[in-house]
Structure 1
Amino acid sequence: MTLYDLGWNARFEAEFADCLSKGWQPARLVRDNKISYGARLGDGAEMEVALGGAVYHEAATDAELPAVGDWVALEIGDDGNEYDAVIRARLTRQTCLSRKAPGKSTEEQVLAANVDVVFVITEAGQDFNLRRMERYFAILQRSGARSVVLLNKSDLYSDEENQVAKAKLCDLNPNVEVHITSALESAGVDVLRSYLKSGVTIALIGSSGVGKSSLINQLLGQEFLWTGEVNGVTGKGMHTTTARELILLPGGGMLIDNPGIREVQMWTDAKTLKESFSDFDHIARDCLFHNCKHGSDRGCAIQAALKAGTLSKERFANYLKLDEELEKLRKRRKKRQLTISRRIRRELKSKGEKYSRKYDVD
C-alpha cells in the first residue's frame, strides 16, 4: 500500500512540502473517536492520534477541525501522552460534504472530507421524497464531489414503480446519475463497484433503513456492518451506523459510511442554490426586470411558466422555502458573529483597563 492508494495526489504533496521539512508524516483520518482519531499511514499502518493544541485553537469553528477523510500532518514519537502521534496540521480539503448541524445551531457539520463520489441512497417507496432530494442535490452541489443516486431495495417494488421513481429523479436533476439496486438480491451492485478504483473515495448518505449497511456488506463481501429492521409503522429504520468511518475496500478504493440522516438542513449559499435549481435560472433570464422577485412582478417569466404548467409549483415552493431557510441562517450567523465580536472587544477593553491601572500604580 502507498499514500496514493489512500487518495494522495500531487496537490496534497505540494501543500505538504513545508510539513515534510519539519519531519512530520502525512496520514489520512479514518475514524473520529471524539477525543482522538484513527489515522492510516502510507504503509497501511493505523494508529491512534491526538489533536494538537495549535490545530484546535486555530480552528474558528468545529467545521475547521479535522474530520474523517482529511489529510493531516503527524508528529510521531513519544511525547509523554497516551497516543502514537499528534496532529500538527490539516491539509486544505479538495472536496467537503457538509450540512447545517442539527438543531438550532448556526454551525456547519462536516459529513466527509476529500470525497470523490457521493451516493445518495433512497428507495421507490416510503423514503422517496423529491423535496428532500432537492435538499441533497443542493448540499452536493456545494461539496464539489460527483453525485450519484441509488434507488435501493428494488426487490420490494415493481419494475414500473422503480422506473417511475428513476424518471422523476432524472427530470429533477438531469446531471445526476441514477441507478436501481437491490442489496438483498445483489442486483446493480456491480454498477456501484464500477465507480471504485485505487485512490478513489466514495461516501454513502441517506435516511436510516434504506439499506446503506447492506450495500457496504456487498462491497466488502462480508457482514462487516450490522443491518437493522425497518419500523413497520413509521417506515423508518434504526441507526445501524453510529459513527463515521473510512473503510478500505478489498477491490480497491475507500468508502466513508455515515449514520442515517433524518434532518437534511442546508449549508450553502444563494449562488450554489441557484446552480442546484438551474432550470429556474434559465427561465428567469426571460423576466422583464433583472431584479424580479418572481412574485406579482410584471413580466415575470417564472410566474408565466407556473401558469403554463412547464414549471412545477411544488418545486418552486420548495426553492422559496430553501431560499428563506438560507436567509434565516445567514441572519443568525451574522448575529452570532456580532455577539462574538462584541464579547472580544469587551474582553480586550477590560484587559486594557487592568493594564492601564497597573501601569499607573507602578
Structure 2
Amino acid sequence: MSSSSFSSSSFASSSLPDAGSALVAHGWDEGWGDAFGPYGDEGLLPGRVVRVDRGRCDVVTGDGTVRADTAFVTPHDPLRVVCTGDWVAVDPEGASPRYVRTLLPRRTAFVRSTSSKRSEGQILAANVDHAVIAVSLAAELDLARIERFLALAWESGAQPVVVLTKADLVPDPVTLAHLVQDVETSAPGVPVLTVSARDGAGLDVLAAVVAGGTSVLIGQSGAGKSTLANALLGEDVMDVRAVRDVDGKGRHTTTTRNLLALPGGGVLIDTPGLRGVGLWDAGSGVGQVFSEIEEFAEGCRFHDCAHESEPGCAVLEAIGTGALAERRLESYRKLLRENRRIVAKTDARLRAEIRKDWKRKGAMGRAAMEAKRGGRPL
C-alpha cells in the first residue's frame, strides 16, 4: 500500500482501512480515524508505536513498520513522552529523517511512580483495554502485591485480569481452587484465570479475553510473562530464561515494551518484570480494589472515619464479625497512605493537611501518655 493511499480523505471518519491492513490488526478503529483526520490534511500518516528505544521508535503504518525520531514530541512532562501503544502521526515516506509529529489523545494510560526520589510518574503502556497481571504459582502468593497491581490497573482505565501462571505446578485441584479463591477475595470484580503454558491448560480462555482489543502483560520477573506471550503468539518471539529454584524468581528476559499482533486477534504489549510497583495518583484505583471496605464505610457513624478506633465504625465491626479480613484493611490503609504521599509531592494543600494530621496525632499521643502517667509532665 503506497503512502499516497493514505490521504486525508482515506482517513475521514466515514471510512476505515481494509480489514486485513496492518493498522486494523494493531487496533485501528473509526474513533482513531476521527482523531487523526486533521493530521491527514497535513500529509502525515497514522501509525501505532510498537517499541520505543532511546529517542526513536518503531511505528506500524499502512506501509509497514518504520523507524521514527521522537524529538518533536519529547515534552518536559514524563507522562507525555512517546510510549508503546500510542497512536501517532508520522512523516510520510520520503522524509529523511522521519519524525513522530504528534500523539493522538490517549484513551487509557498505565502509569506507576518512578523509583527515584523525584515526584515523577512513568508511563508503561498506552491505549490498553485489558491489564493482564501474571502471578506465578511457583512461589507463595503475595496478595498485597496483587492488590497493588490491581490498583494501578483500575486507575489506568483498563479492565484488569489476574492470570495465575504455571498451574501445572499445583496438581491438586483442591489446593488450586483455594489459591484461586484467595486471589478472587483480593480482586473483587476481576476475572481470575489459571493457565499452564507448558500443557496449554487455560490458554484458550485467556486468548479469547485478549482477542478483543489491546492487552498489557505485567508482573514480576519470573512470573512467566514471556512464556505466556509466546504461547499466545504461537511462536517463540520473546526470550525465556529459567527461574531460580530457591525462590521461583527470574531475571529480566524482556528489556523493552513490545507491542505484538496476536494471531487470534487483538494485540499484546509485553513488559519487563517490575520489581517496584509504586502507585501514582491511584486513589480511585485503590477504592476499586477494596470496594467492599468502602461499602462497609458507608455505614460508619462519622463520614471521615479512619477505621481505627472510632465509635460506630462499620468497617471494624465487619472485621469483628468476620465479614472482612483484617489483612485487607491493613493493605487498604498502606496503599492509601502511599498514594497520599505521592499526591502530596505535587499538591501543597494536601501536604498542609498531612502536616496538620501529624500534629493532631502527636498531640493526642502526648495527651494519652500524660493521662497514663497520672497527669505528670513528660
Q: TM-score, normalised by structure 1?
A: 0.86
> 2:191 & 2:240 partners in 1: Cα distance?
26
Per-residue deviation, 1:80: 4.7
Q: Hey, what's the Cα distance between the residues in 1 that align with 2:284 and 2:237?
A: 40
Paired residue for 1:132, among 140, 145, 161?
145
2:68 matches 1:68: no
The structure 1 residue matched to 2:43, chosen from 23, 26, 29, is 23
Q: Answer whether contact 2:69 2:100 (CA < 8 A) is retained.
A: yes
- SS of 2:198's equivalent in the other structure is coil
Question: Contact conserved, 2:88 with 2:100, CA < 8 A, in 1?
Answer: yes
Report the Cα offset of residue 63 of structure 1: 1.3
Q: Residue 8 and residue 210 in structure 1: after superposition, are their counterparts in 2 closer, same or farther (change >3 A)?
A: same
**1:127 Cα deviation (Å)?**
4.8
Contact 2:166 2:197 (C-alpha < 8 Å) held by counterparts: yes
2:189 aligned with 1:175? yes
Offset of 1:303 from its aligned partner? 1.6
Distance between the aligned counterparts of 1:127 and 1:95, measured in 2? 31
The list of structure 1 runs, each at least 4 consecutive aligned residues, that deviate by more than 4 angstroms after superposition, is 77-80
Higher mean alpha-carbon deviation, 66-75 vs 325-334, is at: 325-334
1:66-145 correspondence to structure 2 within 5 Å:
66-81=82-97, 85-145=98-158
Once the two structures are TM-superposed, the CA of residue 196 in structure 1 deviates from its matched residue by 3.9
Cα displacement string for residues 30-66 of structure 1 (whole angstroms, at most 9, x for unaligned residues): 01112200000034x001000143x22xx34111111
Report the more deviating stretch, 106-115 or 326-335. 326-335
The residue that corresponds to 1:354 in the other structure is none
- List gaps (5 residues or longer) in structure 2: 1-19, 352-378
SS in 2 for 1:18: helix
Equivalents in 2 of 1:246, 1:116: separation in Å?
Answer: 13
1:270 touches 1:326 (CA, 8 Å); kept in 2? yes
Q: 1:318 aligns with which of 331, 334, 350?
A: 331
Rounded to whole Å, the distance in 2 between the matches of 1:128 and 1:296 is: 30
Contact 1:62 1:109 (C-alpha < 8 Å) held by counterparts: yes
Deviation at 1:79, TM superposition (A): 4.9
- Following TM superposition, by how much is the alpha carbon of 1:334 offset from its aligned partner in structure 2, in angstroms? 3.6
The reply on whether 1:275 has 2:295 as its aligned counterpart is no
SS at match of 1:118: strand
- Does residue 37 of the first structure (1) align with residue 28 of the second (2)? no
> What is the alpha-carbon root mean square deviation over aligned residues?
1.8
Shift of 1:22: 1.0
Kept after mapping to 1: 8 A contact 2:25/2:261: no
Helix, strand or coil: the match of 1:194? helix
1:341-356 map, 5 Å = none
Q: Does 1:205 find its partner at 2:218?
A: yes
Q: Percent of counterpart pairs with the same letter?
A: 35
Structure 1 unpaired stretches of 5+: 339-362
